[in-house]
Chain A
Amino acid sequence: MNRIEKVFQNLKQNNEKAFVPYIMAGDGGLETLAEKITFLEKAGATAIEIGIPFSDPVADGPVIQQAGIRALEAGTTLRGVLAAIAEIRPIVHIPLIFMTYMNPIMAYGIGNFISDASASGVDGLILPDLPAEEEEIIAPIAEKAGIEIIRLVTLTSPLERIQEIAAKGKGFLYAVTVNGITGARKGFKDELGKHLERVKEVSPIPVLAGFGISEPEHVKEMNQHCDGVIVGSRIIELLQSGELAKVEELIASSKIEEIKL
């Protein structure tokens, strides 16, 4: 069983919610990656989403764009990140999931990338520019190698399509909570809770909400309607400004049982 499946099985048994932080590999230098991963694991992260920088990240807002630029300026490459992951993997127990765009993987060579990622201990892949229509270019090879493709569904995906997409994976379903790009937002659409519940109803795998989630209140709110959250831009900001206590607080907010009045 893949690490992702296992970790969600445990959460379910303990009636807990998932918290998946996103970090940009190489932001602050690749040598800081191991430290960030171990910190986040210790703080209680369910899994970690590791961004591989790409020059033209069309699904990302300003914070992740800037993190990507910093990482590229620090000389970060996919090959380098894979080596860093291989090194830290033996002491990290939670799933590590790569998030990147198709082009860096294609330049590496899809087959080579999957076999190296598998050898390094990468558990999953999130590819925001790879909709279901194009996924056969990589999904069968990845899944054969034990790397889960984490698929995205959005507010514009019809329910039937969500059902089809959800049925394909064994990891979790990434429910995008806004029409738009990554980055903090003040609020969400009123219907979002209902939307997440509909997604959850048709999904045989856990549903995690992501995009725009930045505050403990958002985390608690989302967790009422799904199985956990993914937080990116806010984590990047907090790590950059060294506010580690706030990162811990954000992760902890997913562990506290909602007190119903």
Chain B
Amino acid sequence: MNAAYTLPDERGHYGTYGGRYVPETLMQAILELEEEYKKAQADEGFQKELQGLLKDYVGRETPLYFAENLTKQAGGAKIYLKREDLNHTGAHKINNSLGQALLAQRMGKRKIVAETGAGQHGVATATACALLNLECIIFMGEEDIRRQQLNVFRMELLGAKVVGVQSGSATLKDAVNEALRYWVTNVEDTHYILGSVMGPHPFPMIVRDFQSVIGNETREQYLEKEGKLPDAVVACIGGGSNSMGMFYPFIKDETVRMIGVEAAGLGTDTEKHAASLTKGTPGVLHGALMYLLQDEHGQIQEAHSISAGLDYPGVGPEHSYLKDSGRAEYESITDEEALEALQLLCKLEGIIPALESSHAVAYALKLAPQMKKDEGLVICLSGRGDKDVETVRARLGGKGQ
């Protein structure tokens, strides 16, 4: 760990996790992607183009905001918000979608397939495809389409084709299955823009790297404001992309606690949750070995969370490794707690966070009082809550209380 942290290894493994558990038909495509990614990393032109788009199109860097009212309410450590909600398209997902769309362009692939849960990755990918004139098809579970109708329409406005998935739990897991099946069938001219730090190598690495802009900026901004590193960074985890992007630049700074917050749904003692690291066991799904919610026979279980973006029964291989190694800590927050945190942030700071990000806020509110007043923590506010207003309204019975 620490100074020597160089994962993944050349075969895409994080300890025993990760790897490339995919049909042979996809092997050439992911080997090519790995090659091309290496070249792009070393290519100044590519980096310059990406940086330029992140600055002028996405609106980076995003602010690191000192949430004074929230800090007073919690009564402990200083709470900062990394405002990924202020990105173009309203969440951190665009950091990765743009990067991968540029990679696809480099590889001469003009067609893009992607999965989406909450719709944020779908919207970000549809946006990147509109910008770069790429054809775009998005798979989305029917249950999520119902929960996130506005995002479906946004994707369509942006020129993407949204395909509903009815199989299984009709949520993110099933959308990934269908996106993979589509990719196997159309691999020769299509790139799969995976939206989280999961799937076969090199996806977990590529997505982490593109999302690391979050942690890199946070590190610099915090140093500038406080003259030191934060004592903790807190981020929500579905597949784990915003958290990995926040954590990775701090991995070697052992004084910085890294805390991932999973969705406990109705509670981790019920069957309705999405806490893969807290309650799951290692197994293979969607191309990687990672922690999964599964039964004793290795059948994948349905996840549950009020937030569509966390409703996934697995968590990326690098998080799985960081859990076992003890470098990162993983906690969970229920639907109710997330809803309360969402309302609190609205009232105290005038910021409507996504339900996903509200999980991180809720845990930070538990953590801050246990910390000293001269300590500080950063919440990755991964997305804005506009997409969730309808869900929240229905849940609260139309009242703001």
Number of A interface residues, CB 8 Å? 39
Question: Does any Cβ of B come within 8 Å of A2's Cβ?
Answer: no
| A-B interface pairs (CB < 8 A), number | 114
Instruction: Scan B22-36; emit 1 where CB is below 8 A from any A CB, else 0.
Output: 111111110000000
Binds B, one of A4-12, A83-91, A102-110, A114-122: A102-110
Q: List the B residue with the shortest CB-CB distance to A79.
A: B297
Bound state CA distance, A54 and B180, in angstroms?
A: 16
In the assembled complex, A129 has its CB within 8 A of some CB on chain B? yes
The yes or no answer to A152 lying at the interface (CB within 8 A) is yes
Does A13 touch B at the CB level, under 8 Å? no
**Which chain A residues lie closer than 8 Å to B20 at the CB level?**
131, 133-134
A205 to B125, CA, bound (A): 44
Query: Binary interface profile of A, 148-188, with partner B (CB < 8 Å = 1, else 0)?
Result: 00001111111001000000000000001011110000000
Mark out the residues of chain A between 63 and 110 whose CB falls within 8 Å of any chain B CB in the assembled complex. Answer: 65, 72, 77-79, 101-108
CB contacts (< 8 Å) of A217 on chain B: these are: none
Ranked nearest first, the 4 interchain pairs of A and B with the lowest CB-CB distance are: A107-B298, A180-B185, A104-B298, A102-B284
Chain B residues positioned under 8 Å from A103 (CB to CB): 283-285, 292, 294, 298, 300
Binding site for A on B (CB under 8 A): 11, 19-29, 167-168, 173, 177, 180-181, 184-188, 281-287, 292, 294-300
Task: Select from chain B the residue with minimum beta-carbon distance to A76.
Answer: B297
Q: How far is the CA of A158 from the CA of B21 in the complex (A)?
A: 19
Q: Are A156 and B300 in contact (CB under 8 A)?
A: no
Q: Is there an interface contact between B25 and A176, defined as CB atoms closer than 8 Å?
A: yes
* Residues in A neighbouring B25, C-beta threshold 8 A: 154-156, 176, 179-180
For residue A178, which residues in chain B have a CB less than 8 angstroms away from its CB? 185
Query: What is the bound-complex CA distance between A158 and B28, given in angstroms?
Result: 8
Check if A56 sits within 8 Å of B168, measured CB to CB.
yes
Whether A129 pairs with B23 at a CB distance below 8 angstroms is yes
CB-based contact A179/B19 at 8 Å: no
Residues of A within 8 A of B24 (CB): 128, 131-132, 152-154, 156-157, 176
Q: Report whether A56 and B300 are in contact in the complex, using a CB–CB cutoff of 8 Å.
A: yes
Do the beta carbons of B294 and A181 come within 8 Å of each other? no
Residues B284 and A58 in contact, CB atoms below 8 Å apart: no
- Which chain B residues border A102 with CB–CB below 8 Å? 21, 283-284
Q: Which residues of B contact A224 (CB under 8 A)?
A: none
User: Is the pair A65, B285 in contact by a Cβ cutoff of 8 Å?
Assistant: no
Contact A54 B286 (CB under 8 A): no
A130 interface contact, C-beta 8 A: yes
- Please measure, in the bound complex, the distance between the C-alpha atom of A158 and the C-alpha atom of B23, giving whole angstroms: 15
Q: CB-CB < 8 A to B299: which residues of A?
A: 54-55, 72, 104
B177 and A56 form a contact (CB under 8 A): yes
Is there contact, CB below 8 Å, between B19 and A59?
no
Pair B23/A131 contact, Cβ less than 8 Å = yes
> Are B287 and A129 touching (Cβ within 8 A)?
yes
C-alpha gap A255/B223 in the complex (Å): 76
Closest chain A residue, CB of each to CB of B181: A181
Given contacts A79-B297, A103-B294, A179-B185, 13 further A-B contacts (CB under 8 A): A56-B168, A56-B285, A65-B167, A78-B297, A101-B284, A103-B283, A104-B297, A106-B283, A108-B298, A133-B27, A154-B23, A156-B28, A176-B25
